[in-house]
Amino acid sequence: AQSVTQLGSHVSVSEGALVLLRCNYSSSVPPYLFWYVQYPNQGLQLLLKYTSAATLVKGINGFEAEFKKSETSFHLTKPSAHMSDAAEYFCAVTSSGAGSYQLTFGKGTKLSVIP
Amino acid sequence: ETGVTQTPRHLVMGMTNKKSLKCEQHLGHNAMYWYKQSAKKPLELMFVYSLEERVENNSVPSRFSPECPNSSHLFLHLHTLQPEDSALYLCASSAGTVQNNEQFFGPGTRLTVL
């Protein structure tokens, strides 16, 4: 079984400040990990994914995430927040093993950016 | 139209009504998904179709009935719903399994059950 925990349902940062959204996972097999973003009135869009190649993964819009096996974490960061980053962010996990259609999502973290 | 489209975008229905949600993907994908998104809960995968065959059915009540007539279209038929079924229903598609293929999501249908 796999699960994802996102710490903090709501995070506020000032424009230009560091963005840090936390994600911890639980998986009995090596995981693949994903971050998705959802803007208001839209579906989810893939930001980045970890598939066991490099532990530091770069995504779209200046976001990156680092896979830390020892901490079972996959935190999302961006050096400088922009107003357009205000959205809800979801971490998700799946098994790296046999092909699956199942993604397990966290509850999401809503990011507010203060001007 | 491009990407994944869903109609209607908003739906209000009574508990005795029958309605259907429609999803269409214009990406040439062969897998399609229905998710339920409720406030303060993780996204719940409801159904997955691959090459028009159902491959996942995550203990969804029978009042939700999916239909996949071809690889581009997916329906969710609704009948005798409960108020707790009010949620955002998202459709997604992918070119294959999630390990190697990105899921593309539609904008969702906001469902309210009175």
> Tokens in use for A51?
């598939």
Could you tell me if A9 lies within 8 Å of chain B, comparing CB atoms?
yes
Which chain B residues are closer than 8 Å to A40 by Cβ?
none
Residue A52 in 3-state DSSP? Answer: coil
Cβ neighbour number for residue B77 with a 10 Å cutoff: 13
**CB nearest to B31's CB, from A32, A101, A106:** A101
The confidence score (pLDDT) of residue A60 equals: 94
pLDDT in tens, B35-60: 999 988 889 999 999 988 888 777 89
d(CA A77, CA B94): 26
CB distance B107–A105 less than 8 Å? no
Nearest to A23 by CA among A70, A90, A88: A90
Low-confidence ranges of chain B (pLDDT < 50): none
pLDDT along chain A (115 residues), means of 10: 92 97 92 94 93 90 96 97 97 84 93 97
Chain B interface includes A4 (CB < 8 A): yes
Q: For A107, which residue in chain B has the nearest alpha carbon?
A: B42
A with B: how many residue pairs have Cβ under 8 Å apart? 64
The reported pLDDT for the residue numbered B1 is 61
Token pair, residue A94, equals 């799946």
Cα–Cα nearest to B37, from A90, A5, A65, A16: A90
Chain B residues 50-69 within an 8 A CB cutoff of chain A: 50, 55-56
